[in-house]
Amino acid sequence: MDNFVCWCCGAALADEPLPLARAAQCRACHADLHVCRLCEFHARGIANECREPIAERVVDKTRANFCGYFKPRGSAWQGKAETTEAQAALAALFEGSTGPAASPTTPEAARTALDDLFKS
């Protein structure tokens, strides 16, 4: 596997013997490797976060388990999350706001700000 890296720290695991033993750990960060987060079938947003329909449920996706369907994938490490377009748009929406200090201080100012927000 060319780009086989640790799901937790991104360290290269190319020299790790396959199939991974249940007790295998990353040499860099000591994270368990026989875990759902490193598995090809792991997918957030679906039942049990696993695309293998008959696999037993594993509660902690970051701890070693005995799943017989485990198949390591190289793209498990997500790294530092990049700013998405939605996050950038949200930041632009609130640009110039300084948090609670920017809130209206009187009921009249709050009502005016609310009316301005919902003008048609």
What DSSP assignment string belongs to 86-115? HHHHHHHHTTT--GGGGS-SSHHHHHHHHH
Q: Give the model's pLDDT for residue 81.
A: 55
Q: Is residue 7 part of a domain?
A: yes
Q: Is the per-residue pLDDT at 66 higher than 70? A: yes
Nearest C-alpha neighbor of 33 from the set 20, 19, 49, 50: 20
Q: What integer pLDDT is reported at residue 99 of this predicted model?
A: 55
39 three-class SS: strand
Count: domains in the chain: 1
Of 36-40, 69-73, 88-92, minimum mean pLDDT range: 88-92
Averaged over 12-18, what is the pLDDT? Answer: 87
Q: Would you say residue 10 lies in a domain?
A: yes
Residue 60 has a pLDDT of 93
Residue 26 inside a domain? The answer is yes
Q: Is residue 73 part of a domain?
A: yes
Query: 22 lies in a domain?
Result: yes
The pLDDT value recorded for residue 103 is 67
Host domain of residue 64: 1-78
Q: Is position 69 within any domain?
A: yes
Q: Global pTM?
A: 0.62
Is residue 74 over pLDDT 90?
no
Task: Give a yes or no: residue 65 inside a domain.
Answer: yes
What is the percentage of the chain residues whose pLDDT exceeds 70? 86
For residue 98, tell me if it sits in a domain.
no
